[in-house]
Structure 1
Amino acid sequence: MDFTTLFLISLLATFSTALPQQIVSGNEVTGTTCLDTSIAFDFHDTNVAILGICGGIAGSIQKCSGNPTSTTGQSGTSLFTLDVTDAGSTINISKGRWERCVKAAQLTCPQGGFESTCIGGATPSGDVKFSLTEA
């Protein structure tokens, strides 16, 4: 191996260990129920739908804006529907929390649709109920 190759490998190793890891325990959600487990959602469509909530939380947007009481995110056949649990509250969920909640629900339901409740994510109080269903 030449110096350039070794340098690039070492640089890549440094960056990969510096990136934050999202650790999901399952405690981010409650009441997860698997729905139709025969649905095989497209991985890419589901990821796009995750970032489609609140009019879009992709890129530099880190939080749901606009104070909605409900929202959806859809791509292909993947449809996420979110609603606040407390009357008078609005969805104020961060991108990181939302992604962890989806991953936590998928621990219980790795295949097909589900419904669950993300603990927190609403202002001034409450949680965010959500589901993944076929559009």
Structure 2
Amino acid sequence: MEVLDGLAQTRVVSRSSVYRSAPFEATGPDFFNAVVALETELEPLALLAELQRLELQAGRERPYRNAPRTLDLDLLLHGAAVLDTPTLTLPHPRMLQRAFVLLPLAEIAPDRVTPEQIAAVAGQVIERI
């Protein structure tokens, strides 16, 4: 989170608690997840490029879809932007299906998550730590 705060033209304005969750549509050890709100002057694709650069610096490899990883930085939302490109879809196309996204997002941006959306992922194993 500190590294995100150091990105050019970007600052962290809020951060959720950390949550532990079982892998979703994947195998392997539990994941640790959080959501961070940024203020940034970077356009969505430029911000995505910066996030992917940070993943690579942390040793991220992409051998196959949903492979276990050391760091996974997803761009969920970028203001009111709606995009559908081969590189980036905003809002994130699967965020409403994942408790590990919705619970921390609701913590820092309760206006972005409805009770119905939380109820839809209630069966997923997740723990605030």
User: Which bracket does the TM-score occupy, shorter chain normalised?
Assistant: under 0.3
Bigger radius of gyration = 1
TM-score, normalised with respect to structure 1: 0.24
Higher strand share: 1
TM-score, normalised with respect to structure 2: 0.25
